[in-house]
């Protein structure tokens, strides 16, 4: 880099610039181990960020089909101690006692662990082949189990002893009682459960913690449910749940009393294929995911009202879950998919597309990047230069270091509630100053300012000619801050850094309105965070 006190930017013209085009971020799925193995179950250990269990074939990483990762899928080891060689897991659950409790079922019986899966002890109770296990949210001594054809079972001593829990379930003349193949428990109301079966009514409801059940299938199609989950929202969604079938997604707002189809692009037998898996994120409000058999993935960030398409899954998906990446992933969350060929994960970066928000005069959705500008920032965005100054939104609102902020291609805006009612309630972050740090140029000798050249004693730098004209016309210090370098060259172009922005001059456009433009500092900041490719 070379610095000069006075630039040779003498071309005139006011800049009028449309926002730079930007496609929605399509972060790619990455292999997360167990390559080539048939994985039919994933379960994160929510008490230990970055830890998760996988149900696969014996011999994949050990003598049994139960594996664990403690580094967000980077490496796996088999959980063998106490399990018989060749053990094939069919159901698994962990929870309670800081995540140390776990229970696994397979063709060789049911086993319990109080060491996070490191060691196992066989349960003496005789049970049929189990298809699902669930620890109660409010009491880890209560465990629910389902079998496809012999009903449900309930334990009140952590899985040591079991009793049938089939009151209200039908029984046919062949002795078949439809049991749970999927179970969902309502956060905040652990006595409310939904279960999916492969026989009888598609969905049943329990309001006494799984002791008794009643049909809850009004409005649902015939066939096998591929997913069932309660919504993760506020009090207004306490009775809302979702059920996924091959032909689409259904929602209830009255605990399964009635169901209605949810419109989900690409889901429901259309050109993108039939639905395959449903996941409701328990850690992020109103976030849910639907994958299709062809690998397309759709996310709703507003409880199923509208949807955004994410990167397609690289393999046919069997189920999905999410976990914290821990230190290995910078603390970000990850979406994981169990597939016919291993485990795959997608980093849930804030730059991934969100659902469109409702239309209003004080907010806007940008399909080009898949993000909304909310009423917190949109009035400021509109009044202070819009796309020319800020570019398109790259994230939604988010909290960083206790401050509500939003990233744009060219800047970051921050909300200052202590300045409410003043022009400084929303401010432009000193992003260039943060990015340059100690790399900012040393000051230059003072000189007398003129119409074409201005010296700023606050930072010891000058702004000249075309950069000065643009600076004066587009908001000055409030928009750009003080200069922190002189004009210099980067990638063959004259540029100049200010506290809040980088201005770029394009000689090939000399004399045009867009000869000077604001650089993509917001994008650069996001790349340094690893949130933008």
Structure confidence by residue, pLDDT tens digits, 243-267 = 999 889 999 999 999 999 998 887 8
Which comes out higher in pLDDT, residue 405 or 52? Answer: 405
- Mean pLDDT, residues 112-122 taken together: 93
The domain limits of the chain are: 1-25+361-533, 222-312
When pLDDT is cut at 50, 70 and 90, the band that residue 33 belongs to is confident
| Mean pLDDT in residue range 368-376 | 95
Do residues 123 and 160 touch, judged by C-beta distance below 8 A?
yes
Binned at pLDDT 50, 70 and 90, residue 272 comes out as low
- Of 11-25, 106-120, 251-265, 509-523, the one with minimum mean pLDDT is 11-25
407, 526 contact by CB (below 8 A): yes
Residue 302 has pLDDT above 90, yes or no: yes
Of 420, 517, 508, nearest to 467 by C-alpha is 517
Q: Which range, 54-63, 112-121, 331-340, 495-504, is most confident? A: 495-504
Please check whether residue 241 is in contact with residue 252, taking contact to mean a CB–CB distance below 8 angstroms: yes
Q: By the 8 A CB rule, do 500 and 431 touch?
A: yes
Reduce the DSSP state of residue 199 to 3 states and report it. coil
Average pLDDT over residues 212-234: 93
For residue 388, give both structure tokens. Answer: 């020319």
pLDDT for 298 equals: 93
* Residues 146-199: tens digit of each pLDDT: 999 999 999 999 999 999 999 999 988 888 899 999 999 998 899 999 999 998
What pLDDT, on a 0 to 100 scale, did the predictor assign at position 2?
Answer: 34
* C-alpha dihedral sign at 279, 280, 283, 287: positive
Cα 175 to Cα 127, 170, 171: the distances in Å are 16, 10, 6
Looking at residues 448-452, what average pLDDT do you find?
A: 95
Question: Tell me, what's the pLDDT at 21?
Answer: 62
| pLDDT of res. 437 | 84
pLDDT averaged over every residue in the chain: 89
Q: Is the pLDDT confidence value at 213 over 70?
A: yes
**Beta strand spans in 423-482 (E):** 426-428, 453-456, 461-464
Contact 19, 391 (CB under 8 A): yes
- The CA distance from 301 to 285, in Å, is 8
pLDDT band at 28 (very low <50, low <70, confident <90, very high): confident
Q: Count of CB atoms within 10 A of residue 297's CB?
A: 23
CATH 2.60.40 is held by the domain 222-312? no
Q: Which pLDDT band, with edges at 50, 70 and 90, does 292 fall under?
A: confident
Question: Where are the strands (E) in 56-140, listed by range?
Answer: 66-69, 77-78, 89-94, 102-106, 109-113, 121-122, 132-135
């Amino acid at each position: 880099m070379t610095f000069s006190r006075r630039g040779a930017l003498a071309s005139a013209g006011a800049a009028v610039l449309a926002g730079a085009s930007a496609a929605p971020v399509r972060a790619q799925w990455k292999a997360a181990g167990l390559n080539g193995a048939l994985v039919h179950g994933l379960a994160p250990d929510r008490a230990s960020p970055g830890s998760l269990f996988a149900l696969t074939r014996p011999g994949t990483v050990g003598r049994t089909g139960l594996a664990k990762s403690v580094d967000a899928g980077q490496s796996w080891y088999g959980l063998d101690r106490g399990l018989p060689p060749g053990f094939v897991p069919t159901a698994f659950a962990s929870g309670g006692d800081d995540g140390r409790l776990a229970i696994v079922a397979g063709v060789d019986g049911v086993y319990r662990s109080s060491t996070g899966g490191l060691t196992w002890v066989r349960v003496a109770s005789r049970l049929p082949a189990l298809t699902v296990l669930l620890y109660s949210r409010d009491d880890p001594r209560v465990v629910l189990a389902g079998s496809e054809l012999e009903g449900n079972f309930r334990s009140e001593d952590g899985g040591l002893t079991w009793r049938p829990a089939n009151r209200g379930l039908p029984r046919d003349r062949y002795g078949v009682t439809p049991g749970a193949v999927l179970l969902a428990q309502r956060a905040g109301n652990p006595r409310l459960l939904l279960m999916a079966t492969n026989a009888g009514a598609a969905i049943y409801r329990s309001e006494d913690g799984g002791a008794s059940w009643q049909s809850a299938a009004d409005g649902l199609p015939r066939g096998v449910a591929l997913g069932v989950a309660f919504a993760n929202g506020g009090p207004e969604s306490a009775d809302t749940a979702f059920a996924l079938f091959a032909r689409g997604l259904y929602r209830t707002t009255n605990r399964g009393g009635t169901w209605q189809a949810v419109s989900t692009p690409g889901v429901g037998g259309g050109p993108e294929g039939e639905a395959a898996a449903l996941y409701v994120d328990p850690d992020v409000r109103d976030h849910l995911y639907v994958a299709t058999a062809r690998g397309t993935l759709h996310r709703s960030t507003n409880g199923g009202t509208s949807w955004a398409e994410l990167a397609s899954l690289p393999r046919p998906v069997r189920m999905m879950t999410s976990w914290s990446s821990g230190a290995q992933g910078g603390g970000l969350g990850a979406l994981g998919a169990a597939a016919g060929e291993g485990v795959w994960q997608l980093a849930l970066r804030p730059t991934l597309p969100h659902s469109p928000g409702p239309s209003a005069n004080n907010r806007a959705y940008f399909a080009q990047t898949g993000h909304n500008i909310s009423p917190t920032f949109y009035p400021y965005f509109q009044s202070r230069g819009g796309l020319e100054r800020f570019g398109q939104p790259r994230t939604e609102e988010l909290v960083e270091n206790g401050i509500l902020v939003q990233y744009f291609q060219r800047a970051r805006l921050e909300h200052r509630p202590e300045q409410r009612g003043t022009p400084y309630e929303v401010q432009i972050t000193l992003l260039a100053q943060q990015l340059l740090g100690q790399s900012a140029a040393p000051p230059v000798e003072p000189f007398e300012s003129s119409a074409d050249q201005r010296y700023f004693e606050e930072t010891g730098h000058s702004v000249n000619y075309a950069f000065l004209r643009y600076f004066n016309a587009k908001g000055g210090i409030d928009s750009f801050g003080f200069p922190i370098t002189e004009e210099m060259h980067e990638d063959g172009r004259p540029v100049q850094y200010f506290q809040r922005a980088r201005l770029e001059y394009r000689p090939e456009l000399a004399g045009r309105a867009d000869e000077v433009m604001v650089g993509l500092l917001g994008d650069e900041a996001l790349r340094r965070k690893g949130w933008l490719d």
